[in-house]
Amino acid sequence: MSVMIKVDNLKKIYGSGFEALKGVSIEIKKGEIIALLGPNGAGKTTLISTICGITVPSSGSVLVGGYDIAKDYRHTREMIGLVPQEIALEPFEAVISTVRFSRGLFGKPRNDAYIEKILRQLSLWDKKDAKIRELSGGMKRRVLIAKALSHEPQVLFLDEPTAGVDVELRKDMWDVVSDLKASGVTIILTTHYIEEAEEIADRIGVINHGEILLVQEKETLMQQLGQKQLRIDLSEPVHSVPDALAQYGLDLAPDGASLLYTYDATGERTGITTLLADLQSAGLVMTDIQTQQSSLEDIFVGLVKEKQ
């Protein structure tokens, strides 16, 4: 797949002297969905705003579809649709006219059939003549999406699209996103929620303190996540893992009252059966057992902690 967006050593120092992006480099492929994951203040919005032309980079370069965002801003911006994190709409404007405005602003000739299509897709058609202030928060977010799609962009940025959105709208939104992906649109979304990234993204990027910590195929990441942990509670605490069980690489909980066994849940043999048998022959009495799966969340928290 060809590269749609190429960010190279991008730095952003705000007027206040704060360095929000510390040399970010990332390549986003044409037609993929990439989720940028990161805590508050990580620099997600700053990265997006810079690519879209809202903030001026301090150094580094960004190419969109092979065009430079500074030199060929008309080309790059025509290709991009942005759904901002904050809802910003004119309260007294009618839904359809604000969407039409967006299309015109991006240099596209009027096309009522297309506008109708996206409004219908976002279940906004019956609200087309309503004033923005008469809409609910979730509907306003849909209007923002409609505006972003109004000029048929090839790249769509969704900055925390599911903030304040109910389950149903979220589903609708993912349907729209899937349709867009099917038609070849590249989608970049930011989120705090790992499940969301898991649900929809092809690749996942983790960003914190203005740095990209990791960019990986979701599948690869999920394989790493295939690790499970079995926790065996003992009736009597032990001081050390009995020698007879050495081959399992068990960890002892700090209080000595439980043993922890890490295994690959995707493997054919987990070794649980033999472990339990050996445990019994070693004379240990179990009171309880439970399994845990490490989630993206664990990896994420681990990565973020590591860097701090």
Partner 1 sequence: MNISAIKSIYVYEMARFFRTLAQSFLSPVLSTCLYFVVFGTAIGSRIDTVDGVSYGAFIVPGLIMLSVMTQSTSNASFGIYFPKFIGTIYELLSAPVNFLEIVIGYVGAAATKSMFIGLVILATSFFFVDITIQHPFAMIAFLTLTCLSFSLLGFIIGIWAGNFEQLQLIPLLVITPLVFLGGSFYSISMLPPIWQTITLFNPVVYLISGFRWSFFGEADVDVTISLIAIGGFTLLCMAVIWWIFKTGYKIRS
Q: Does 133 bind ligand ATP (CB under 6 A)?
A: no
Give the chain's largest Cα–Cα span. Answer: 80
Instruction: Considering the complex, state which of residue 59 and residue 247 has its C-beta at the smaller distance from partner 1.
Output: 59
Q: Which of 180, 97, 102 is nearest to 147 (CA)?
A: 102
Q: Show the binding pattern over residues 38-77: x = contacts ligand ATP (CB under 6 A), - = does not.
A: x-xxxxxxx-------------------------------
Handedness of CA 22, 26, 31, 34 (dihedral sign): negative
**CA end-to-end distance (rounded Å), the chain:** 35
Please name the amino acid found at residue 260: L
Residue 4 beta carbon to partner 1: minimum distance, rounded to whole angstroms:
17
Q: Does 237 bind ligand ATP (CB under 6 A)?
A: no
Q: Does 45 bind Mg ion (CB under 5 A)?
A: yes
Q: Does 240 bind ligand ATP (CB under 6 A)?
A: no
Residue 54 beta carbon to Mg ion: minimum distance, rounded to whole angstroms:
12
- 181: its two tokens: 């992906």
Residue 52 beta carbon to partner 1: minimum distance, rounded to whole angstroms:
4
Residue 14 beta carbon to ligand ATP: minimum distance, rounded to whole angstroms:
3
Instruction: Considering the complex, state which of residue 103 and residue 140 has its C-beta at the smaller distance from ligand ATP.
Output: 140
Which DSSP helix (H) or strand (E) runs through 46?
A: helix 44-52
Between the CA of residue 75 and those of 66, 107, 143, 162, 221, what are the distances in Å?
A: 10, 11, 24, 29, 34
Which residues of this protein are in contact with Mg ion, per CB under 5 A?
44-45, 85
Contact residues for ligand ATP, defined by CB under 6 A: 14, 16, 18, 20, 38, 40-46, 85
